[in-house]
Amino acid sequence: MPTERSAGTVTTTTTSHRGRRRAPSRIERAAGKAAALQKPRVLLALLLLLALTSVMLLDGYLRAEVGGDQRVRDGAASGKVPDKILTGGPILSFRGGQATTVSVPDKTIALTFDDGPNPTYTPQVLEILEKYDVPATFFVVGSMVSRYPGIVKDMVEQGNEVGIHTFTHVDLSYQSDARVDREMQQTQLALAGAAGITTTLFRAPYSSETDAIDNYSWPVYQKLGEDGYTSVFVDTDSDDWKKPGVAKIVKWATPSRNNGASVLFHDAGGERSQTIKALPKYIEKMRAKGYTFTTISGVLEKEQSAGAPGTPRADGTGVNTLQAAHREATGATLYEGRALIAAVAVAEWAVPALSVGLLVVGVAVMGRFGMMLILARRHYRQRNKRRFSWGPTVTRPVSVIVPAYNEKECIANTLESLAQSTHPIEIIVVDDGSTDGTSEIARAAADRLGMVNVRVIRQENAGKPAALNNGVRNAGHDIVIMMDGDTVFEPDAVHQLVQPFADPAVGAVAGNAKVGNRDTVIGAWQHIEYVMGFNLDRRMYDLLRCMPTIPGAIGAFRRDAVLQVGGMSEDTLAEDTDITIAMHRAGWRVVYQEHAKAWTEAPGSLKQLWSQRYRWSYGTMQALWKHRKSLTDKGPSGRFGRVGMPLVVVFQIVTPVFAPLIDVFTAYSMIFIDFRAALLAWLAVLGVQLVCAAYAFRLDKERYRYLLMMPLQQLAYRQMMYLVLIHSCITALTGGRLRWQKLKRTGEVGTPAGVG
């Protein structure tokens, strides 16, 4: 049973909650379980970020954006290359350090294609080859194989031969031995995953005839030869990549006299429509001249059957017969190849989807900035017209409720600011089971300030919503103002805050919360966020009549309206958002009063900031889910559901969750694509944000010098907020719950006069 005792000018009430210790709330009972799940959720968020980065890097590697090397060697000396190689045939093999070349027999064409597969042109080439029953050897690029494995499978099943043209189409003469090995091995894995085979054939990018081998590329061919590869060059080049016309392609691909030749065409690497038109004409012409077509392995088999000395076996056993270039992929090679194909398939789907997401997020972000500027300006002009009035001036006393839990550092400053109020008030401090002497400090401050309008109500620790409800029940006036125990009001804050209640349709008013401890880096970042991200937003929402949140630091309510909606709810961790939406659904109008200013102490460390924003974002999701039926409601409740809820979901949840895409793609572009263009794009977005922030600072009459911190805020602080929101989303999706958390206070925010 409550007991009261006189304490100077202060009345202290102790509430016993039925004479026994309060049972843990549903949220508190789940707190232990939620805490145990936090690390796995953080790990899951980091794994998602790692997966996104890996997918982008894989896609960039496939497109030669990551690790690409565009250098091509031309015209180097060849003194270290044996003359018999420079003047030999187009097929080069190494065994035991000995190099041997093989020429294509007379009236024989080894038809070869480079740079594929290509989804447009390679199938057309295969169709032509099948029609004329002509085999060919395709020197494929591993990255293209991994992207279009089905084409390579069709290629092999049709009886064609494949060779390696590296994985990323780089000039190997510039590369280290490790890079050369990687280029070959990755292409072998791609072939294994696509067609279940590996190959012993190789053609270097940017190679032509054997006389083009130089001192830089020769060691590469020696190394690959010792690894069991047969390097293939050309005798005749169609130069189809120059797109000279069908007639010239056919002419240039035709060997002189009746010589045999390894002939080069391209089925990828550019627009190849002329090649497609020239290929049937070329086949018909060569057959008319008595030529036959074969693969590279076919050339080697003919050479072997003719008894040419010194022709090695491809597998290096020394047996005097030569097997085909293809080998069946088995074991780890096969499974690793399939894994590579699967990973590339994911990247091929994910990156375009992410790009679309990036576009949507970019449009949403810029659209939000545009809406904020336009609607905030309209709001400012409407509210600052000379003839604007809420109605008759509200002068009647109001109740100020201050919930406090271990606020010994701040409570005296809070009461001191309220003592300077220009509006008549009663103050109800609800001590929620503090253990640091908060109630005694409050009584002493009231005595020192000569305040006779202060009551301190003590209760067992039950949480902030319970403390606020206790204050509402004990309020003596029809308008109640709720503030935090670490907040100080400007002298006219209460008077300004209650003026909208002259309109009987107004049920709640949001004040203008400002960061008091703004002289630290973290404080300056939050100051920018409060002025731009919160108060500019509130002007927009106010004009649209769908204010989603009345800040806990400074908000006013009709007492009857609060009781009508059931008081402050313990169902969510964002009781301020919860009751605001409930007020909308009950038909009350919620407005923003920018002239009612309060100064609050923002978290002073990254750990506390994370804790606070984690609770805010998760609580907002809880509140939106709780009031999801407003989407289908009629009347005022339906208005918030149709207008306010989509805006909150898009601007405060969906867009921030996907906004890191902008930063990830920007960083990716800076590192791998075009640093200058990416930097300019980032600076352009920053410029738009600076314009919005500067306008917000102008409306709030704030000092522009804090905007100097904005670039750093975008690089560090904003990323942290994104991670917090992603973490909250994972918590919501996994069914976790959090408890209301107390932040460590310093009491450095004094009276408004000392904050400015």
Instruction: Please state at what angle helix 675-699 crosses helix 660-668, rounded to 10 degrees.
Output: 150
Examine the residue annotation and report whether 542 is marked as an active-site residue of this protein: no
**Amino acid at position 250, single letter:** V
Contact 112, 294 (CB under 8 A): no
Instruction: List the structure tokens of 120.
Output: 């447009």
Spatial separation of the C-alpha atoms in residues 709 and 531, rounded to whole Å: 14
**Active-site choice (266, 423, 584, 727):** 266
CA dihedral 288, 294, 300, 304 (to 10 degrees): -60
Distance in angstroms (rounded) separating the CA atoms of residues 572 and 552: 14
Backbone φ, ψ for residue 111 (5° rounding) = -80, 120
Q: Parallel, antiparallel, or unpaired: how do β-strands 454-459 and 506-515 relate?
A: unpaired
Q: Side-chain half-sphere of 469: how many Cα atoms within 13 Å?
A: 16
Pairing relationship of beta strands 292-294 and 108-114 according to DSSP bridges:
parallel
Separation of alpha carbons 401 and 416, rounded Å = 15
Phi, psi values for residue 554, rounded to 5°: -160, 105
Distance from C-alpha of 288 to C-alpha of 291, rounded to nearest angstrom = 7
Give the span between the Cα atoms of 201 and 232, in whole angstroms.
7
Query: Which residue in the block uniquely carries the two structure tokens 């075009």?
Result: 674
Q: Which of 114, 171, 240, 578 is catalytic?
A: 114
Whole-number Cα distances in Å, 339 to 141, 197, 371: 18, 15, 46
> What is the three-class DSSP state of 164?
strand
Q: Note if 114 is an active site residue.
A: yes
Secondary structure E strands in 534-679? 554-558, 589-600
Report the sign of the C-alpha dihedral through residues 384, 389, 395, 401, in that order.
Answer: negative
Distance CA 344, CA 190 (A): 10
Q: How many residues does the chain have?
A: 756
Phi, psi dihedral angles at 739 (to 5 degrees): -105, 160
Query: Look-up: residue for tokens 């007639």?
Result: 247
526, containing H or E segment:
helix 521-528
69 CA to centre of own chain: 28
The two three-digit tokens of residue 537, written as one number: 């937003």
Q: Which long-range contacts (CB under 8 A, 24 or more apart) does 278-285 make?
A: 278/238, 278/240, 278/246, 278/249, 278/250, 278/253, 279/125, 279/128, 280/128, 280/131, 280/132, 281/246, 281/250, 282/238, 282/249, 282/250, 282/253, 282/254, 283/128, 283/132, 283/134, 284/132, 285/250, 285/254
CA distance 216 to 251: 32
508 SS3 class: strand
CA-to-CA distance for 129 and 76, rounded, in angstroms?
37
Asked if 598 and 490 count as a contact pair (C-beta separation under 8 A), the reply is yes
Beta strands at 108-114 and 261-266: parallel, antiparallel or unpaired: parallel
Catalytic (active-site) positions: 114, 266
